Structure formats: structure tokens, C-alpha cells
Amino acid sequence: MISSYYKIPLDTAKIVKNEDLEKSNIRQSLVSYIHLIATTYFGECTFDESFGCSIWNVDFDNLTSTSKLRHGVIDSIKEGILGQEKRLEQVEIIVKIKQEEINTPGDIVRIKKRVDIRIDGVIKQTNESFSCLEQFYIAPLSY
């Protein structure tokens, strides 16, 4: 049974120097990998163009209804996790979308949509429950 995983992002300088990389446990690895799936747009990984999710496709779309946006994010994240993350099963996704005012330098107030994504599931290796929360602001995307 694998008990340690490489911490993301990888320290490429250590790889070049042939040094040991930082390790993480399965929960930290799952959280990091889910974050990577959620923040990667389709086609960004040239070796696997199906890796990622479609949050980027709605990044500047302020006209889509909140309900349609929520269902699109749920479908895309779930498809990405089920297709790419084999260590999880019984995956459930809950998405909440809120509008927030963001103060920026110069007293400019910007309104952005905040997307809260909760991913629940079961870790296959240990049969333990797993949960993580991703939060993004879209239009444009930031985290």
C-alpha cells in the first residue's frame, strides 16, 4: 500500500540536483490533485487534452444564470475527478455560487462571482471518508 505521495507543486530544482522531493499523505495529495484538475483548462496538458475542467469556459461569462453555471461546474468537476482521480469513489459535488464585492486599490469596487465547490467521497485505499473545499472567484478566475 502506497503511504506517501509527492507534494504538488514539484520542486524541479531538487529533481535536477537528484535530491529527495517533499512528500505528503494521501489526503493532501488528493486535495492538491483535485485543485490541479479544477484549475486546468481542457487542452492545457498536451499529453492529455481531457485533463482539467470547464470552469475556464465560463470565466468571463456574466450572463449565464447561476443555476446553469452551478450545474455546469458540478458536471465538469465530477467528470474530471471520475476520469482522472482513481483513488476516490462515491464522489459527490456541492457547488454554491454567490456574488461578492471586492475592494481593490484606488477604492474601486468589483463584483465577482464566488464559487464554493465541496467534494466529498471515499478514499478507496483506506475506506475513509474524504472532503475538501475549493473556492474560486470567476469573471475572471482567481483563487
| Cβ-proximal residues to 8 (8 Å cutoff; 6+ apart), any chain | 29, 32, 33, 35, 36
Mean pLDDT value of segment 13-39: 92
- Flag whether pLDDT at 74 surpasses 70: yes
For the chain, percent of residues with pLDDT exceeding 70 = 90
Owner of C-alpha cell 490533485: 33
Tell me, which fold does domain 5-138 have in CATH? Nuclear Transport Factor 2; Chain: A, (3.10.450)
Dihedral over Cα of 6, 136, 140, 41: its sign: positive
Residue 111 or residue 45, greater confidence: 45
Spans of all domains in the chain: 5-138
Q: What is the DSSP letter of 16?
A: H
From the CB of residue 139, how many other CB atoms can be counted at a distance below 10 Å? 15
- Flag whether pLDDT at 103 surpasses 60: yes
Mean pLDDT value of segment 73-85: 91
Rounded Cα distance between 38 and 63, Å, is 22
pLDDT tens, 119-140? 999 999 999 999 999 998 876 6
For the chain, percent of residues with pLDDT exceeding 90 = 46
What global pTM score does this model have? 0.82
Q: Check: CB of residue 37 under 8 Å from CB of residue 85.
A: yes
Instruction: Give residue 23's pLDDT.
Output: 92
pLDDT tens, 55-67? 777 666 665 677 8
